[in-house]
Amino acid sequence: MRPKRWWAATVGGIVALLTTVTWGVPAGATATASSAPGVTAKTITIGFISSTVGVAGPNFVHYGQGVQARFDLQNAHGGVDGRKLKLISEDDGGNPTADITIVQSLLAKGVFGIIVGTPFFFEAYKLPAQEGVPVVGGGYDGTEWGLKPDYNMFSTTGDSAPTFNIVNTGGVDFMKELGAKCVAGLGYGISPSSSAAAAAYVKSAAAVGLKDCYLNTTIPFGGVNVEPVVLAMKAAHVDAVGLEMDNNTNFAVLTAAAQTGLKFKAAISATGYGQSLLNDPSALAAARIPGSYFIEEGPPLNSAPEKAFRAALKKYEGFSGIPGFGRYEGYTQADLMIKGLEVAGKNPTRQSFITNLRKVKGYTAGGLLPMPIDLSLKDFGKAPSVECSWYAKVSGDTFVTVPSNGKPVCGRTLSVGSS
């Protein structure tokens, strides 16, 4: 499930500013004020929606640790303009409709903005959009990221077309180089992003001269009863597949393929990269199946940005392994929230956050993103001309970046279909 999407000069329903209060500060320091929900002279409170239990749990359980590590690092360096960052977390339990109630609860508690750590936010995005509440996420849950006029929503994948059905050559060119000829796409029926991304795989394959051999976007979220799907791929002579699902389903597909004799030139899993896989013997066995590749969640191991990231996780969360999807997503999205607070000014409001973050170009989350993203309105709602990802495979008991030069694989956008 890969992502996309926002600014605002006039977002409908912008919350009225509270009375400005100037607080006493040490001589020589700049006075700060409280003029927005969640902001005091000493703190800024951010809401976080997680999904650590239920069907999304295997992929999202460590998300909050990534968020908290980035906040802890920032607080250790004085916070933002002297204000320490606080986090209020609530879990949707894997229930899409719960997110509506959670958003209402967080707003009632007066949070300044919201970080989205769930694949089900597509059910709840309208309320913060109406209230002009800054929202930061990965843009992987649905097609609402990039829809005008909801400029309050910022994604770490950039603010582009409100669709995942983008015909882009990156992943399929990678498959082609590995010798693939017949491509399939698999996705979850309940997830707009997952199903659209799976459909995009087979359309993209046809665009680069590969065969569009099989598409299934009816798989239950988190489902592992995938043998019928694997047998259907085998009958269609599939030799490459885009697995746009969570790691438990992706591993089930790889395992069933090995058991039924279906061999892949390239099976690319959107999720699964990280220490959790290496610690799980059955998952590790699936990952070692020839042709199994992963979207590498961040830059190559031991590159400067990756080492700095792991150092923060070790210091503040006690984690010393290879970070996976949840920790990367949480950390980079917390970083984007911090960036918005930094550019919002010494007396931040929700509107100044949105307006000023919409002026930022070339954002990389400290080098953790595969390409700089433009958060301005220049290309808002448009498909990016280029998309990039790092890829990796398991070698022995660790991951290695593919290709070995460590550079992300980039592809050209050819067209955009409906999601």
pLDDT digits (tens, 9 = 90+) for 61-108: 999 999 999 999 999 999 999 999 999 999 999 998 999 999 999 999
* Between residues 400 and 23, the one the model is more confident about: 400
pLDDT of residue 58: 83
pLDDT above 70 (res 16): no
Q: How far apart are CA 187 and CA 222, in angstroms?
A: 10
Q: Do domains 21-163+304-384 and 166-299+388-416 have the same CATH topology?
A: yes
Confidence band of 5 (pLDDT split at 50, 70, 90) = very low
Across all residues in the chain, what is the average pLDDT? 87
Non-local (6+) Cβ contacts of 31 within 8 A are: 22, 23, 25
Residue with tokens 């400029």: 151
Left, alpha or beta for 94 (phi > 0: left; psi -120 to 50: alpha)?
A: left
Instruction: Give residue limits of the domains in the chain.
Output: 21-163+304-384, 166-299+388-416
The average pLDDT across 47-64 equals 91
pLDDT above 70 (res 350): yes
Q: How far apart are CA 125 and CA 119, in angstroms?
A: 12
pTM recorded for the entire structure: 0.84
pLDDT above 70 (res 353): yes
CATH number, domain 21-163+304-384: 3.40.50.2300
pLDDT of residue 164: 57
Class of domain 166-299+388-416: alpha beta
Q: Token digits for 128?
A: 């913060």
pLDDT of residue 159: 61
The average pLDDT across 121-144 equals 91
Coil, helix or strand for 361?
A: coil
The average pLDDT across 331-358 equals 97
The average pLDDT across 195-202 equals 88
- For the chain, the first-to-last Cα distance in angstroms comes to 13
Q: Token digits for 242?
A: 């885009």
pLDDT digits (tens, 9 = 90+) for 386-402: 889 999 999 999 999 99
Share of the chain above pLDDT 90, in %: 70
